[in-house]
A and B are shown apart, each in its own frame.
Chain A
Amino acid sequence: MSDVTTTDVAELSRALSAGEVSSAEVTRAYLERIAAVDGELGAFLHVDADAAIGAAEAVDAARAAGSELGPLAGVPVALKDVFVTEGVPTTSGSKILEGWRPPYDATVTARLKSAGTVLLGKTNMDEFAMGSSTENSAYQVTRNPWDRSRIPGGSSGGSSAAVAGGLAPWALGTDTGGSIRQPAALTGLVGHKPTYGSVSRYGMIAFSSSLDQAGPMTRTVLDAALLHEAIAGHDAYDSTSIDAPVPVLAEAARRGAAGELAGLTVGVVRELGGEGHADGYEDGVLARFQEAVALLESMGAEVREVSCPAFDLALPAYYLIAPSEASSNLARFDGVRYGVRVGDDGARDLDEVMALTREQGFGPEVKRRIILGTYALSAGYYDAYYGQAQKVRTLITRDFTSSWDDVDVLVSPTSPTVAWSVGARVDDPIAMYAADLCTLPASLAGVPAISVPCGLSEGLPVGFQIMAPALADDRCYRVAAALEAAQDAARGHRLLDELGRTAAGGAA
């Protein structure tokens, strides 16, 4: 077959099953590309080539022996370094976990292993998933394959750069306030945040427990649906896991690709890129967004504007709730059970060792959020900050709920801007937080949302966000696949194909 590092997983899976290519060949092709390009991109924190080839050869041997294998057997995958992986270094992008090899697998890791996928490595991320640019990693800055002077989005920027750069056929990310959708948008990928609770959080290093959600980052909508189906489903190890059947997602994507949207009602969110939105949206982003809405309309969808006034408060509510939960979750990094310990010289007591360990183990963004969360949860401020934010969250959920009376999906740009230059926002937390403007409402309400590429602005990808009611993830896939198919047909190729091998780091 042609270059496997530009092939969709759906096609790769077919070729593997048909014996047209072996898993070892595919895995080697990706490892070679990682070796050639990742020095420039910085997408991976850990790659174990021998283990990956060993796993691939085991799948090939099982296939040769006539074993019954699942459709994803032998397909390589990259995991954000927030998922614990037995025996494989896992850091969550932080120095405090440097060198730690977890004694168990996250549920999603275990499910991908049992599906026969081959782990290529662990991808870079903002420390403890706090950030929108992957510049907060304690280890390295990841670069955007479309323009290496720019950021790849965050906090799953290692995963987005790996897939967009052809270093992995697909990857898992996590989304707390938009950390799957925003990096997918900024690198020309599909990224889906599933309904909260529909994918297990067991073994996912927690940032903000009521928001964190794992999900796929892929080249196509169908691939996202395939990866989502592989990781979803109830997990007794996660008390917040929803005990409901996994919706049929790949089928929804295939149906959507047929392009028929008659009977579908699409709501353009006034507060998120619709008429009368707040400032901060780039002209090129709004132009691509409006073109995509017109395309949905041309396929038979009915489009109307919907007002969700509480969405204007999603950003302040999020930046109170997430740091509050983080300040609690990160208390477990105390230098006792795992990770590093600093200053244990026999003269210092536990409190001092803990404070020194956390000083040297955490980076500035993490410290800032822990302090903010401690403040927002403290006596005297709890009601005004955290309590008020949780009530605003209820208002946001109500805006969604009342929208579903009138429309089937809500749409907006995924990010108000295209990828910005490395370093441009690092000293300005407020500017950095604004990158999540469009993705936060769905996170706070726990509803599913997908980002699908909708063209370029200034030569850089723009993402289109589709939000649906809780557990109606299939609706996101259907509409996204329709939009993807129409755009690919109009363009004559996939958007990602415009990212030539030279721009991506040049294998040649």
Chain B
Amino acid sequence: MSTPSPKGQLTRDEVAHLAHLSRLACSDEELDLFAGQLAAVLDAVAQVGKADVTDVAPTTHAVPMTNVMRPDVARPSLPRDVVLAGAPAAEDDRFRVPRILGEES
């Protein structure tokens, strides 16, 4: 098991990396702010490590879960034009997205 970073070890660069992984562009001011706040939050939440959880199973859900199945029967879905009406961009009855591959591809 890995050891959580001690207080203050979540650096600005680490926050920038996590923001990138989360697809969040952050300003320099935000990165500075979050680095300090997240270090404090991590220090507080690291208390969970104090609990003796030997042989304790994790709770994945608050209620007993069973797989839910339904008959494989076609049903009407939302009309395509209604769904596309809420999209930022649509074209030819589809969601239009920015290019995914770079120029060189």
List residues of chain A with CB under 8 Å of any chain B CB: 100-104, 195-197, 210-211, 236, 239-240, 242, 310, 313, 315-317, 319-320, 327, 331, 334-341, 344, 346, 348-356, 358-359, 362, 364, 367-368, 370-372, 374-375, 378, 380-381, 383-385, 387-395, 397, 429-430, 433, 444-446, 470
Contacts and interface: CB of A to CB of B under 8 A. Distances in A.
A313 B10 contact: no
Contacts of A334: 23
Given A375-B10, A388-B48, A364 B99 contact: no
B51 to A, nearest CB: 5
Given A350-B100, A444-B62, 19 more contacts: A103-B78, A103-B83, A335-B88, A336-B97, A339-B88, A341-B89, A352-B98, A355-B24, A372-B41, A378-B18, A381-B2, A384-B3, A389-B45, A390-B58, A393-B59, A394-B56, A394-B59, A395-B56, A445-B62
A370 B21 CA distance: 10
Given A374-B18, A446-B62, A388 B97 contact: no
B23 A355 contact: yes
Interface of B: 1-4, 10, 15, 18-27, 30, 33-34, 37-38, 40-42, 44-51, 53, 56-63, 65, 68, 70, 78, 82-83, 85-89, 95, 97-102
Nearest to B50: A313
22 contacts: A101-B85, A103-B85, A197-B63, A313-B51, A316-B46, A319-B41, A336-B95, A337-B95, A338-B87, A341-B89, A352-B98, A353-B98, A362-B24, A364-B30, A375-B18, A381-B2, A381-B4, A394-B58, A395-B56, A433-B44, A470-B62, A470-B63
Interface of A is mostly: helix
A383 B38 CA distance: 19
A224 B105 CA distance: 59
Contact of B41 (A317, A335, A395, A430): A430
Nearest to B34: A368
A358 B23 contact: yes
Contacts of B65: 239-240
A387 B33 contact: no
B23 A337 contact: no
A392 B21 contact: no
Contacts, number: 189
B53 A101 contact: no
Contacts of A389: 45, 48
A392 B95 contact: no
Contacts of B58: 387, 390-391, 393-394
Contacts of A358: 22-25
B95 A371 contact: no
Contacts of A445: 62
B99 A429 contact: no
A337 B98 contact: no
B62 A384 contact: no
A388 B40 contact: no
Contacts of A384: 1-4, 49
Contact of A395 (B27, B51, B85): B51
Top 3 closest pairs, chain A to chain B, by CB: A446-B62, A390-B58, A341-B88
B98 A350 contact: yes
Contacts of A374: 18, 21-22
Contacts of A392: 48, 51, 53
Nearest to A321: B59
A89 to B, nearest CB: 11
B25 A359 contact: yes
Contact of B37 (A242, A390, A429): A429
B23 A351 contact: yes
Contacts of A239: 65, 68
Contacts of B62: 196-197, 210-211, 397, 444-446, 470
Contact of B4 (A338, A362, A385): A385
Contacts of B60: 210, 390
Q: Taking each of B26, B37, B62, which has the highest tally of chain A beta carbons within 10 Å of its own beta carbon? A: B62
A350 B59 contact: no
Contacts of A327: 22
Contacts of A391: 51, 53, 56-59
A355 B25 contact: yes
Contacts of B3: 384
Given A359-B24, A394-B56, A371 B34 contact: yes
A341 B23 CA distance: 13
B78 A368 contact: no
Contacts of B1: 383-384
